[in-house]
């Protein structure tokens, strides 16, 4: 049953720990401050919001995204929309021999821009075209993952730090592509972040890990770092902490990168087209 709220919005949970569907809103129209406050609160509590059946254009996508904060570009500038450089395109489609978006972006567990000193607060991903099967996106609650760790492990990792590296991610995910240029590399130097971070708005702790993008846990022998990272990554994506999103065109999903990880899943990219538009909200330094 949808839960009533003080505004006209209706909220419906999608899974135990993560995800809420928002009903009764048309994102072509400006969102009132009262409704926006409900959305901000729901995002902080539930880490992921779903808006179905939205027929927004690029300008409306950008305008709504800006309500959440300053918008960021991307180091792969070739995949930003020329008219709306706040929009980063994920797609397998090519036009005139050129990819219109980054294909196979996020095909492993990560949170966006964790390789930056100030990673993204959150992202708003809009489904323009989706395959009839496959191409779901998985989301995991890193609050739930932290809460479920046994106390001895919590104590062991509470003050550890890890190195996040876009170059490491790119090298593994896109080994078949042209390597990053010197300029691109300089744009995304490796950074260090706490392995356990505090949500700046709620104070809740979460596990801050990721596959490939997290190169190592710092201050540990290499084999110990590799083993601990593998253990924490495996724990973090336990299905009980996850929600799987089956996309429909017109879906807009907003997630909180400070308390979640997500992962794309494959689809038949020879047979089907997938075109997704993402805006990315600036965040603070993790602590």
Tokens of 8: 């006209």
Residue 257 binds ligand OGA (CB under 6 A): no
Residue 208's closest CA among 184, 229, 239, 189? 229
Residue 106 in contact with Mn ion, rule: CB under 5 A: yes
Tokens at 198, concatenated: 């505090």
The β-bridge relationship of strands 48-51 and 20-23 is parallel
Based on CB atoms, which residue is closest to Mn ion, 101 or 106?
106
* Residues 209 and 217 sit within 8 Å (Cβ to Cβ): no
Q: Does 74 bind ligand OGA (CB under 6 A)?
A: no
Residue 164 annotated in active site: no
CA distance 279 to 256: 13
List the one residue from 48, 264, 267, 283 that touches ligand OGA (CB under 6 A).
Answer: 264
Q: In the chain, what are the helix, strand and coil shares in percent, each to the nearest 5?
A: 25, 30, 45
| Binding partner at 137 among ligand OGA, Mn ion, none, C-beta below 5 to 8 Å by kind | ligand OGA
Token pair recorded at residue 61: 């996508």
C-alpha to C-alpha distance for 13 and 162, rounded to whole angstroms: 33
72 binds, among ligand OGA, Mn ion, none (CB under 5 to 8 A by kind): none
Instruction: Rule CB under 6 A: say whether 278 interacts with ligand OGA.
Output: yes
262 is catalytic: yes
Q: Is 46 in the site for ligand OGA (CB under 6 A)?
A: no
User: Pattern 125-154, binding to ligand OGA, x per CB under 6 A?
Assistant: x-----------x-----------------
Tell me if residue 274 is catalytic: no
Work out what residue 258 binds among ligand OGA, Mn ion, none; the CB cut-off runs from 5 to 8 Å by kind: none
Is 112 near ligand OGA (CB under 6 A)?
yes
Candidate segments 37-45, 57-65, 102-110, 226-234, binder of Mn ion by CB under 5 A? 102-110
Site string for ligand OGA, 84-103 (x = CB under 6 A): ------x-------------
Q: Exposure of 174 by Cβ count < 10 A (0-12 exposed, 13-18 middle, 19+ buried)?
A: middle
How far, in Å, CA of 81 to CA of 263, rounded?
23
> Distance (Å, rounded) from C-alpha 257 to C-alpha 255?
6
3-class secondary-structure state, position 169? helix
Q: Is 150 a catalytic residue?
A: no
Please report, as ranges, the residues that interact with ligand OGA according to CB under 6 A: 90, 105-106, 112, 123, 125, 137, 262, 264, 276, 278
Looking at the annotation, which residues are catalytic?
110, 112, 262, 278
Please report, as ranges, the residues that interact with Mn ion according to CB under 5 A: 106, 112
């Amino acid at each position: 049953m949808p839960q009533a709220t003080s505004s006209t919005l209706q909220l419906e949970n999608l899974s135990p720990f993560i995800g809420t569907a928002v009903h009764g809103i048309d994102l072509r129209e400006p969102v009132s401050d009262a409704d926006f406050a409900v959305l901000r609160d729901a995002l902080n509590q539930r880490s992921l919001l779903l808006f179905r059946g939205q027929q927004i254009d690029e300008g409306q996508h950008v305008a709504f995204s800006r309500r959440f904060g300053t918008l960021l570009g991307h180091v792969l500038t070739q995949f930003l929309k020329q008219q709306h450089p706040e929009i980063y395109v994920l797609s397998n489609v090519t036009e005139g021999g050129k990819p219109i978006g980054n294909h196979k972006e996020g095909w492993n567990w990560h949170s966006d821009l964790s390789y930056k000193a100030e990673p993204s607060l959150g992202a708003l991903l809009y489904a323009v075209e989706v395959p009839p099967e496959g191409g779901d996106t998985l989301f995991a609650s890193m609050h739930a993952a932290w809460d479920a760790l046994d106390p001895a492990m919590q104590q062991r990792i509470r003050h550890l730090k890890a190195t996040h590296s876009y170059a490491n991610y790119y090298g593994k995910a896109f080994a078949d592509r042209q390597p990053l240029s010197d300029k691109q590399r300089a744009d995304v130097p490796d950074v260090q972040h706490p392995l356990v971070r505090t949500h700046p708005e709620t104070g809740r702790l979460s596990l801050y890990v990721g596959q490939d993008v997290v190169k190592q846990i710092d201050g540990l022998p290499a084999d110990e770092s590799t083993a601990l990272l593998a253990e924490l990554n495996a724990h973090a994506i336990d299905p009980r902490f996850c929600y799987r999103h089956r996309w429909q065109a017109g879906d807009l999903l907003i997630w909180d990168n400070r308390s979640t990880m997500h992962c794309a899943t494959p689809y038949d990219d020879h047979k089907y087209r997938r075109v997704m538009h993402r805006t990315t909200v600036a965040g603070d330094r993790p602590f």
